[in-house]
């Protein structure tokens, strides 16, 4: 019997580097400093430099990275923030936590990214910020988006949760706006062994404010300069992430090899549409997401053959009960809503075995050929 094909698995990498990782954890535990020490400072410097930004501020999640970035630019009740609805709930939760109102743009059908042609009609006197979501590992159209934002004097905060290492026009994700928010959730290409996040910015003023906001508004102990919060990347996770950072390019390269194999193997299947790489982009394939006819039946067929897959995301946020207060109705974002019934993410991680990749391709072809294996 074949081993199950997992959608994602960190254990092969952990087994390979187990001794080094555990030695590093012991070194941190033995150091006498567990919060906001030298390990965090080192990773902040190294990761921000990798992104092409001057400063990094480690926090406890990408949700907080977005929330604190919004607070740092002064977003508050009465403000509007333009983003997309085909994203993880944290993008919108962060906007709401800051007191602002999300305003949704539709997306491009081939890339699943923000359709920037919507922006001019969505901008109002209350628009404080635009948050493009670099979904699946590919950047939104930052040239057009930044031109519009700059012309209207609107801040841009990039949601880079799925895009560490992605690039647009030769510049890394996170280097375009006033801030870029990253996730180090374990499933991410650069993932921790727990939760974590970071804001990168080239603004010294924003960086200083973010450092205060993540630590109760303090610059020195027991005295708040302003109202703040508690959101700190811990030393253990920072140390592990710093260890993994030099391998990020190799992991990304491996994912591109897997994506090319999917592209080649599925090229003749007319019932599916493969991920599109838009001009000027470097896609790092956090997800390999197809559009599929009879998507739900296909997913059930794959599951019956021990192949995991995911739908990212089955319900757009504007149609969720928890966000009825925003006033959107079915039909408000036609492309977003259509994609929600078609998208399917296939197994994708650097250590994905070759035979598992072959099985996924074969199973999809069998499903659509009508010669389905029992």
- Encode the chain (374 residues) as per-residue pLDDT tens digits: 689 999 999 999 999 999 999 999 999 999 999 999 999 999 999 999 999 999 999 999 999 999 999 999 999 999 999 999 999 999 999 999 999 999 999 999 999 999 999 999 999 999 999 999 999 999 999 999 999 999 999 999 999 999 999 999 999 999 999 999 999 999 999 999 999 999 999 999 999 999 999 999 999 889 999 999 999 999 999 999 999 999 999 999 999 999 999 999 999 999 999 999 999 999 999 999 999 999 999 999 999 999 999 999 999 999 999 999 999 999 999 999 999 999 999 999 999 999 999 999 999 999 999 765 54
Inside any domain, residue 232: yes
The residue range of the domain holding 305 is: 247-369
Q: What is the pLDDT of residue 374?
A: 46
Q: What is the pLDDT of residue 148?
A: 98
Inside any domain, residue 172: yes
Inside any domain, residue 163: yes
pTM of the model: 0.96
Inside any domain, residue 165: yes
Residues 140 and 223 in one domain: yes
Residues 201 and 273 in one domain: no
Q: What is the pLDDT of residue 223?
A: 96
Residues 257 and 231 in one domain: no
Residues 236 and 319 in one domain: no
Q: What is the pLDDT of residue 1?
A: 61
Q: What is the pLDDT of residue 2?
A: 81
Inside any domain, residue 374: no
Residues 138 and 198 in one domain: yes
- For residue 64, give the CATH number of its domain: 3.40.640.10
| Tokens found for residue 148 | 């519009």
Could you give the number of structural domains in the chain? 2
Inside any domain, residue 315: yes
- For residue 298, give the CATH number of its domain: 3.90.1150.10
């Amino acid at each position: 019997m074949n081993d199950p094909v997992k959608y994602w698995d960190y254990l092969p990498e952990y087994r390979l580097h187990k001794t080094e990782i555990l030695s590093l954890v012991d070194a941190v535990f033995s150091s006498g400093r567990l919060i906001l020490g030298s390990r965090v400072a080192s990773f902040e410097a190294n990761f921000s430099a990798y992104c092409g930004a001057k400063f990094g501020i480690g926090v406890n999640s990408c949700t907080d990275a977005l929330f604190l970035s919004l607070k740092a630019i002064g977003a508050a009740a009465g403000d509007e923030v333009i983003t997309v609805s085909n994203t993880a709930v944290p993008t919108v939760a962060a906007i709401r936590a800051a007191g602002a109102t999300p305003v949704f743009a539709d997306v491009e059908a081939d890339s699943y990214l923000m359709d920037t042609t919507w922006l001019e009609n969505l901008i109002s006197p209350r628009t404080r910020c635009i948050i493009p979501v670099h979904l699946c590992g590919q950047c939104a159209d930052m040239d057009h988006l930044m031109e519009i934002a700059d012309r209207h004097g609107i801040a841009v905060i990039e949601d880079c949760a799925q895009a560490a290492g992605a690039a647009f026009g030769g510049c890394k994700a996170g280097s375009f706006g006033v801030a870029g928010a990253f996730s180090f959730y374990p499933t991410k290409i650069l993932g921790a062994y727990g939760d974590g996040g970071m804001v990168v910015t080239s603004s010294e003023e924003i960086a200083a404010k973010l450092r205060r906001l993540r630590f109760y508004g303090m610059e020195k102990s027991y005295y708040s300069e302003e109202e703040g919060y508690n959101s700190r990347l811990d030393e253990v996770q920072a140390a592990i992430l710093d260890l993994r950072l030099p391998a990020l390019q190799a992991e990304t390269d491996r994912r591109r090899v897997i994506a090319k194999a999917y592209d080649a193997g599925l090229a003749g299947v007319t019932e599916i549409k493969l991920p599109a790489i838009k001009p000027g982009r470097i896609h790092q394939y956090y997800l390999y997401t197809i559009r599929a006819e009879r998507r739900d039946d296909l997913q059930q067929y794959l599951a019956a053959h021990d192949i995991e897959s995911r739908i990212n995301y089955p319900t757009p946020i504007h149609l969720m009960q928890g966000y009825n207060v925003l006033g959107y109705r079915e039909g408000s974002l036609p492309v977003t809503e259509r994609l929600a019934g078609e998208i399917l993410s296939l197994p994708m991680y650097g250590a994905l075995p070759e035979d598992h990749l072959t099985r996924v391709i074969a199973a999809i072809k069998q499903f659509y050929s009508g010669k389905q294996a029992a």
